[in-house]
Structure 1
Amino acid sequence: MYRIYDCLTTQHDIVLVLVAVLLGLGGIHTAFNLYARACIGRLRQRIAWLFLTGVVTGSAIWATHFIAMLAYDPIVPVGYDPVLTAVSLVIAIAATSVGFAIASFRGPHPVLSRVVGGLVVGLGISAMHFTGMSAMSVPGVISWHMDIVIAAILLGAVFGMISLWLAGSARTTREMLWGKTNLTIAVATMHFSAMGALIITPDPTMRVPAQLISSEYLSVGVAVIVTILIAIGFITAMVDRQLRAHVSNRMRILGDSAIEALVLTQNGRVIETNESFLRLVNAKQDEVNDSEFLSHWLTEVPQAFRNGSISYVETSLRTRDQVDVPVEVIRREIPADDFSDNTVIFGLRDLRERHAAEKHIRFLAEHDSLTQLLNRTTFNDRITEAIIEADETGVPLTVMCLDLDHFKELNDSFGHIAGDHALRELGERLSKLNSDNITIARVGGDEFVILLHHQNGPDVALASANARAVAQDILDCIAIPIFINNNHRAKLSGSIGIAHYPSDGEDAEAILFHADLAMYRVKQSGGNDTVFYSSEMDEEYRFKRQLSSNLRQAMENDTLEVHYQPQCHADSHEIMAFEALLRWNDPQMGNIPPSRFIPVAEETGLINQVGEWVLRKACQEAASWRKPLGIGVNLSAVQLQDLELPNLVRRIVEQSGLEPKRLELEVTETALIHNPARSMKILSDIKKLGVRIAMDDFGTGYSSLATLQNFPVDRIKIDQSFIAKLIGNDQAVAIVRAVINLSHDLNLSVIAEGVETDDQARFLTDNDCNEVQGYKYGYPRPINEYWHVVHPNSNDQDIAADLAKSANRVSGSEAR
C-alpha cells in the first residue's frame, strides 16, 4: 500500500493526475447518459446506442489511463509503441461495449446480467491498462510486483461489477450517480495500483526504437481523440434527451390532463405514469418507475388480463400504504416500432365513488327515505326468507304491525313538517332495537312492521313472551316525548298487533294480514297496547267485509231507507222539524242498526256515498212537503273533511228545490276537532248557503266551549245520555240546566234528545228548553206515517197528487 502511495505522491504530476481524473469523470458521465438511452428502445437502436456508449466509455477510460501515464515520471526517456497503443484503445472500447450490452440484457435475471457486465468492464479496464503499459518502451528493464498486479485487477473487476449492479438501467439520478462513482473508482484504483506495481530498472545499453510515439505527440493525440469522442457522445445524448424530454413532457401534460390514472409499461415494468396514478397510490414518480406493474400494484387480476386475452377487468389496486382501492382497468397495447418495444398502456379509474353511489342507491332502494328503516319491499323479501328458514328449523316466527295513535292529530296541530320530524326521531329510536333477531320496517305513513326471529325452539308460549317483551320495548321507545319546538313536546303511543307463523297464518300475506287485524283491535280499544291475533278477529273481519259488500249493493239497488223522527216545540208539542235517520234491513243479515254499519262505512270509504244518498233523499222528501218543516241530516267526521262538501250541499239543495234555511246539518264535536281549520272553512262555506248548523251530542266531547266560540253553530243538541239521568242525578240536572242557560246567553236555540218521560219533559219546559226530541214525541218512522203532519188538510186526491209530484221531483233530480 505504501508503494502505491509513494508512487502516486512522488512519481506523478498531481496536476496531470487531476486532469486525468476530470477527463475520466466527464467521459464516464457522458457514457452513463448514453447507457441510460441504450437501455430503452428496439434492438437496432439499442445496439447503436450501446456501441456509442462503448466508444465514449472506452475512449474516456483509455484517455484517463494515458494522461495518468504521462503524469508518471519514470526518470528515464519513455516512448510508446503505436500498434499496442491503438490495440489498448480497441480493447477499452470493445470491453466496455460488451460489458454494457450484457448489463442491459433483459432476461429473467437482470441482477446477474449487470454483475457479469460489470465484470467484463472491470476486466476490460485491466486488459486495456496492461496492454497500454506494454506499449511503453524505456532504456531499461520493466518488471512487476505480481501481488499488487493481482490486487489491481481484482479491484477493477469488483468495482466494475458494483458499478453496473448499482446503476441498474440508469433510469434515476441516484442509479446513475452510483454507477458513475463506482466506475470512476474502478478505473482509478486499478490504474494507480497497477502503476505502483511497475518496476523500471535503467539499462543504458538497451536501445529505444526510433518509431515510438513521443509523450508530446501522445498527449496531443489523446486530447484530440477524447475531446472529439466525448463531445460527440455528450451532444448526441443531450439532443436525444431533449427530444425525448420534449415528447415526454407533451405526453405528461396530456396524461396529467386526464382524470383517469394512466400507466405506461414496457416488458411489464413501469416507465411512465400521470399525476392521477401517483395520487391514487400515494407515491412519487421514482417510487413507481421500473416496478412490475401487475405483480406490484394489481395483485389480483386474472391471467387472461395479464396475457392480454381480455382488456377490461375490475380489481383492487394496492397503494403504497397497503390500502386496497377498487378500480376498473383497461389495457391497450402499442405495437413495437423502430424506436421502442411493445408498450402497454393501462387506464385505471377509481371506483370508490361509484361503489359508494351504488351502495347509497341500494340503501335508498331498500330503506325508507324518512326514517332510514327498511321499506315495504325489502321487508317482504326478508319475511319470505324468514318463513323458508322457519319451515326448515321448525322455530316459530313473529310478525308485529305497529300504528301510531293519534298521529294525524299531530300533523293537524303542528303541520306535516313536525310529523316528519317525529317519524325521523322514532325511526332513529327504533333502529337501535334492530338486531340479528329483530327487523323493523316502515311500510307507509305512521305504520311499521316488525319481524322477530326466535332462538328458543318450537315453543309458542316462549315466543309469545319474547314478542310481548319486544313489543313493550317498542312502546317504551314511542312513549318518550318528542321535541317539536320550545313550547311543545309531542307524546305519542302505539298500537301493536302480533301474529305467529305458522300458527296464525300459512304464508307471509296471511301472517301480515292477521297481525294487522290484531293491531286494529288495539286501535278500537283506545290504543297504546299490544294484542295477539285470534281467530275471532278473522271472523269479525269477514263479517265487516260482508257487511261492506252488502251495503254497497244496497246503495246500488236503492234498498236503504230513511226514517224521520219529529222535533217538537217543548211547550206546544208542535212538530217543527224532522231528523232524517238512515235504516237498513238487509235480506241476508236482517235489520242492522246504524251503530253497526256506519263505522264500517267509514272504514271502507263508503260513508261519503252513503252520506250523499241520505242528504239527497231527505232534501227531496222535505221539498215535497206542503208544510215547510225543517229537516235535519247528520254528517260524519269523514264527510266533514271533504272540501267539496259545500258544493255538494249547494247542488243537492238546488236540484231538490228545498229552501236552504229549512236544512239543518248536524255535526259532532269529535268530528270538528280532527282538523279544526278545515272543518271551520267547510262549515263557514255551508253557512253562507243559508243552511243551518247544529252541534249534535253536545257535552260528550272535549272541547265544547271552544267549539261554540269558534264554529258557526245555530243550535245545540243536548245528548240523550244527560237526559236519561235527569231524574235523581244532581250532576246531570246541573249540566243540562247549564247548557240551556249557555245556549240562551249565546243566542243559540237548544234541543234535548232522548226525551221519553213526562218528568223529563216537565224539567226541560220548566228550564226554558226550546225544543225536544225523543220517543215521547215520536219514533223514527217512514215519512208516510207522518203524512198528516207534512201534508195537513189533504184529502185522498191531494195525497195522490202530492205523491205523484214527489215521485216526479225525485226522478227529475236523479236524471239531473
Structure 2
Amino acid sequence: MNVLGCIVYKHNPWLVIVAVLICGAGSWVTARLVRRAFATRGMQRAGWQFLAATTAAVAIWCTHFVAMLGYEPGVPVTFDAVLTIVSLLIALAGSFLGLFVACSGFTRAAPMLGGALVGLAISLMHYTGMTAYRVEGIVTWNRLYLVTSIVLSVGFSALAFDQASRKPGAASTGGSVTGARSQVGLVAALLAIAIATLHFTGMCAFEIVPLAIDTHASNPAALQALALAVAGMAFIIAGAGLVSYLLDDSVRAESVEHLRTMALSDMLTGLPNRAGFNERLDAEITRTAAHGGKLALIGIDLNRFKDINDLRGHHAGDEVLKILALRFKSLVREDEFVARVGGDEFVALRRFARRESLDDFLNRLETALFRPIRYDDWEVISGASMGVAIYPDDATTKTVLINNADLAMYRAKADLTRSVCFYEPKMDEMARARRSLAADLRDALSRGQLSVHYQVQTSIASGEICGYEALLRWEHPRHGFISPGVFIPLAEENGLILAIGAWVLREACSRAVTWQPPCKVAVNLSAVQFAHADLPSLVAEVLEQTGLPPSRLELELTESTIFADRERSLETLQRIKALGVSLALDDFGTGYSSLDTLRSFPFDKIKLDQSFVSEAESSRQATAIIRAVLALGKSLGIPVLAEGIETQDQLDLLAGEGCDEVQGFLLGRPVPLAQLVASGKLKLSGAPMALAPSVTVATG
C-alpha cells in the first residue's frame, strides 16, 4: 500500500485534517521563532531557542498523537502512558539540542547538523510513540517505509534549518521584506514536510494482524475527544509562541522608531537636530519641486548667546535654548518647521505660495526671539539675526540653498539696523571678500604688519599734553590702509580680537615706558576682549613685563561692554583699579548713559562722544547734552574729555562750558610714534622693550 492509500484508508479524515493544521501552524510559528533565534545573540538567543524548541516539539508530538488517535487499525487500541510521555520528552530534548547546535556557529554546516538532529528527534519520538501504541494483534514493520521515513525527516529538517540560517539577501527570495516573508514560508513548508512525511510514511510501515476483536476494548468517540483536546492545547501553545514573536516584533518596531526619533532630535531642546533638518529639507525640496510653490529656508543665529554662556554659565545658556524651543514649538503651524542645528543656531522651513504667509512666519519668529527671557533673578533679550533664502528663486540645490541662507544671516548680523535679511546675489562676492580679508588679517597679525598710532589728548586749562590714545592701524599690502571700523568687527567675529588686543596693550605699554615727559597712554578694550579674557591678569602681566607704572595706563571701554553682566564687570573693574590703572568710560551719551553706571563703577574719566561735538554748533539739543554731561562730571568729581574736536569754535565752546580735556584733528591726528618724536612733542629716554616680531594666533 502506498502512502496516500495509508492516509486515506487507515485514518479518520477529520483528525487527519486537524493533524495537518497543527503541523502547518506549528511549523510556521516555529520557522519565525527559529529565524529570530538565528538573528539574535546572548540571552535573547537562548530565550528564542527555548520558545522555538518548545513550539517545534509540541507541533511534532501533537501532529503525531492526533494522527495516531485518528488511525483506525480495526482492533481495540490502548496507549502506554509512560512511553507516551517519554516520546514528548524526546521531542523536547531533540528540538533543544538541534537548535543549540544549529545556532552554535562552530562550523558552516552547523545549521544543517542541527536540523538533522531535529529530524532524528522527530523519528525517535514517532517510533517511541508507536511503541506506546498497544493493539490486539501482531505488529510488523516494512523496513523500506521505515528507513524512508527517517531519511525524509532528517533531510527536510536539515534543509529547513539551513534555509532559516540564511539572511534574506542570501536567499533566492531576495533581500526585501517580501523576500523575508517568503523565506519564512519556505522554512515552514520544509519543517511541515519533515514532520508529515515521517509520520505518514512511518504509519505505512506499520502493519497489524488482528488476534481477536473486542469492540468494547476501546471507545472511538473518547479517543476523538482526546485528540481534539490535544489539538486545542497544541494550537494554544503555538499561538502563545506566535504572540510572543509578534509582541517582540512590535516592541522592536517601537524601539527602532524611538531610536530614530532620538537620532533626529536634539536632546536638550526636543527640537529636530541637524540630521532631522536635513531629512526634512530633502523632503520639502522634493515636494516643492513636484507640486510647485516656493520653500523658504531661514537661518537663525542668536546675537548674545556666547555672552550669556560666559557671563551666566552654560546652565543659563541651556535654559535660554529650552525657553526659545518651547516658543518655537508653540508657534509652528502646518508646512512650518524649526530645528536646532548647532550651539546657538536654528533653522526654519516654510512652504508658501504667497509672500504674506512667509512674512507672517518671520514676524512670529522675530517676536519669539526678541521677547525678554526671564531666568531666576535676571532677564535677558537674546535677539537673533535671520537670513532667508528661497527655493527655487535663490538656489536649486540643497547645498547652495543652505549656503545662501547663511550668507543672508551673516549680512543681518553685520547690519545692526535689521534682524532679517533676504539673500541677494551680491552677497556671494561680499562673503568671499570678507573671508579673504579675515585671512589677510590673521596673516598681518602673525607677520607683524599691524601698527599703533597715537593721538594727543590735551588739557584745556593748561594747554599741556596729558596723554596719548593708542589706536590700531592696518596697512594692507594690496588695499592700503583698512579702516578700523572694517577690520575690528571682523577680528571680533573670528576670535582674532583677543590676540590683537593683547598685542596692542603690550606694544603701547612698552613704547610709553620710554616717553618724556611721562604722560599717560590710553588703550581701548573690545567688548569681546573684556568678556572672554582674564583681563586683570593680562594687564598685570603686561605692566610687569614692560615696567610701565600702572598710574600711566588708562583703559577705555564703552558702557555696552559692561552692561551684559554688571556684577562680573564690577568685579573685573575693581581688580584692574586695584592695580593702580585708570578707567575711562568711552563714547558716553551714545549707549545706555545710565547714572547708575557712573555711581556703581569706579571710572576716572568720561569721554564725550564726538557726535555731540560735531553737532554742537548747529544743534541746540547737542549743546544741551554737552552741558548736562559736563555738569554731571563736575558733580561726581569725574573729569570729562571731549572727542572729535576739529574746529576752533568747537574748542572755544567746550572751554567756555568747563570741559577738562579734548582730543581731535584740531590738536593732532593719530600718527606713528616716530613722527611724534620727530616733531619734538615726545622724547624717548631709552630703547623700548624688545617685542616678538610675530604673534601666534589661535585658530579656535
Report TM bin, short chain.
Answer: 0.5 to 0.7
The alpha carbon displacement at 1:632 in A equals 0.8
Q: Is the 8 A contact 2:387 2:405 kept in 1?
A: yes
**CA distance in structure 2 between the aligned counterparts of 1:604 and 1:644, rounded to whole angstroms:** 19
1:651 and 2:651 equivalent? no
**CA distance in structure 1 between the aligned counterparts of 2:413 and 2:578, rounded to whole angstroms:** 37
Query: Equivalent residues in 2 for 1:335-350 (5 A)?
Result: none
**Among residues 664, 667, 670, which one is paired with 2:554 in the alignment?**
664
1:530 and 2:530 equivalent? no
The residue that corresponds to 2:324 in the other structure is 426
Q: 1:170 to 1:566 in 2, by over 3 A?
A: closer
The residue that corresponds to 1:318 in the other structure is 243
- Counterpart of 1:695 in 2: which secondary structure? strand
**CA distance in structure 2 between the aligned counterparts of 1:169 and 1:53, rounded to whole angstroms:** 24
The residue that corresponds to 1:471 in the other structure is 362
**Among residues 658, 666, 672, which one is paired with 1:782 in the alignment?**
672
**CA distance in structure 2 between the aligned counterparts of 1:449 and 1:613, rounded to whole angstroms:** 38
The residue that corresponds to 1:291 in the other structure is 235
**CA distance in structure 1 between the aligned counterparts of 2:643 and 2:496, rounded to whole angstroms:** 27
- Counterpart of 2:516 in 1: which secondary structure? coil
Query: Equivalent residues in 2 for 1:91-490 (5 A)?
Result: 124=214, 160-168=219-227, 289-291=233-235, 293-294=237-238, 296-297=239-240, 317-318=242-243, 324-327=246-249, 352=251, 356-384=254-282, 397-407=295-305, 416-431=314-329, 437-453=335-351, 462=354, 466-478=357-369, 484=375
- Counterpart of 1:325 in 2: which secondary structure? helix
**CA distance in structure 2 between the aligned counterparts of 1:586 and 1:815, rounded to whole angstroms:** 17
The residue that corresponds to 1:692 in the other structure is 582
Per-residue CA shift, 1:762-796, capped at 9, x if unaligned? Answer: 3433443222222232222223333277666x7xx
The residue that corresponds to 2:642 in the other structure is 752
The alpha carbon displacement at 1:381 in A equals 4.6
Query: Equivalent residues in 2 for 1:602-613 (5 A)?
Result: 602-613=492-503
- Counterpart of 1:576 in 2: which secondary structure? strand
Amino acid at match of 1:472: N
Segments of structure 1 that go 5 or more residues without pairing to the other structure are: 1-30, 55-105, 114-119, 129-156, 172-268, 270-286, 299-316, 328-350, 457-461
1:621 and 2:511 equivalent? yes
**CA distance in structure 2 between the aligned counterparts of 1:32 and 1:477, rounded to whole angstroms:** 86
The alpha carbon displacement at 1:497 in A equals 1.2
Q: Is the 8 A contact 1:720 1:754 kept in 2?
A: yes
Amino acid at match of 1:614: V
Q: Is the 8 A contact 1:35 1:53 kept in 2?
A: no
Q: 1:607 to 1:35 in 2, by over 3 A?
A: same
Greater relative contact order, per chain length (Cα 8 Å cut-off, separation 6+) = 2
Amino acid at match of 1:584: W
TM-score (norm 2): 0.64
Q: Is the 8 A contact 1:412 1:675 kept in 2?
A: no
Per-residue CA shift, 1:704-757, capped at 9, x if unaligned? Answer: 322223323211111122223334544333432332333233332221212233
The alpha carbon displacement at 1:519 in A equals 1.9
The residue that corresponds to 1:333 in the other structure is none
Q: Is the 8 A contact 2:79 2:134 kept in 1?
A: no
Bigger radius of gyration among the two: 1
**CA distance in structure 2 between the aligned counterparts of 1:524 and 1:773, rounded to whole angstroms:** 29
Amino acid at match of 1:561: S
Amino acid at match of 2:449: T
The alpha carbon displacement at 1:437 in A equals 4.1
The residue that corresponds to 1:809 in the other structure is 689
The alpha carbon displacement at 1:293 in A equals 4.8
Per-residue CA shift, 1:251-297, capped at 9, x if unaligned? Answer: xxxxxxxxxxxxxxxxxx7xxxxxxxxxxxxxxxxx8x332755x45
The alpha carbon displacement at 1:697 in A equals 0.8
**CA distance in structure 2 between the aligned counterparts of 1:649 and 1:682, rounded to whole angstroms:** 11
Q: Is the 8 A contact 1:655 1:813 kept in 2?
A: no
**CA distance in structure 1 between the aligned counterparts of 2:79 and 2:136, rounded to whole angstroms:** 5
Q: 1:598 to 1:39 in 2, by over 3 A?
A: same
Amino acid at match of 1:642: H
Q: 1:790 to 1:683 in 2, by over 3 A?
A: farther
**CA distance in structure 2 between the aligned counterparts of 1:50 and 1:523, rounded to whole angstroms:** 91
Per-residue CA shift, 1:633-689, capped at 9, x if unaligned? Answer: 111111111333333323332333322211111111111123333333333332232
**CA distance in structure 2 between the aligned counterparts of 1:373 and 1:167, rounded to whole angstroms:** 61
- Counterpart of 2:659 in 1: which secondary structure? coil
**CA distance in structure 1 between the aligned counterparts of 2:77 and 2:546, rounded to whole angstroms:** 112
Q: 1:766 to 1:529 in 2, by over 3 A?
A: closer
The alpha carbon displacement at 1:107 in A equals 11
- Counterpart of 1:598 in 2: which secondary structure? helix
Q: Is the 8 A contact 2:498 2:533 kept in 1?
A: no
**Among residues 446, 462, 465, which one is paired with 1:575 in the alignment?**
465
The residue that corresponds to 1:279 in the other structure is none
Amino acid at match of 1:364: M
Per-residue CA shift, 1:191-219, capped at 9, x if unaligned? Answer: xxxxxxxxxxxxxxxxxxxxxxxxxxxxx
Q: Is the 8 A contact 1:643 1:682 kept in 2?
A: no
Q: 1:599 to 1:45 in 2, by over 3 A?
A: closer
**Among residues 542, 559, 563, which one is paired with 2:449 in the alignment?**
559
RMSD: 4.1
Q: 1:527 to 1:419 in 2, by over 3 A?
A: farther
Amino acid at match of 1:688: A
- Counterpart of 1:774 in 2: which secondary structure? coil
1:517 and 2:407 equivalent? yes
**CA distance in structure 1 between the aligned counterparts of 2:229 and 2:437, rounded to whole angstroms:** 95
Q: Is the 8 A contact 1:405 1:495 kept in 2?
A: yes
Amino acid at match of 2:499: Q
Amino acid at match of 1:168: A
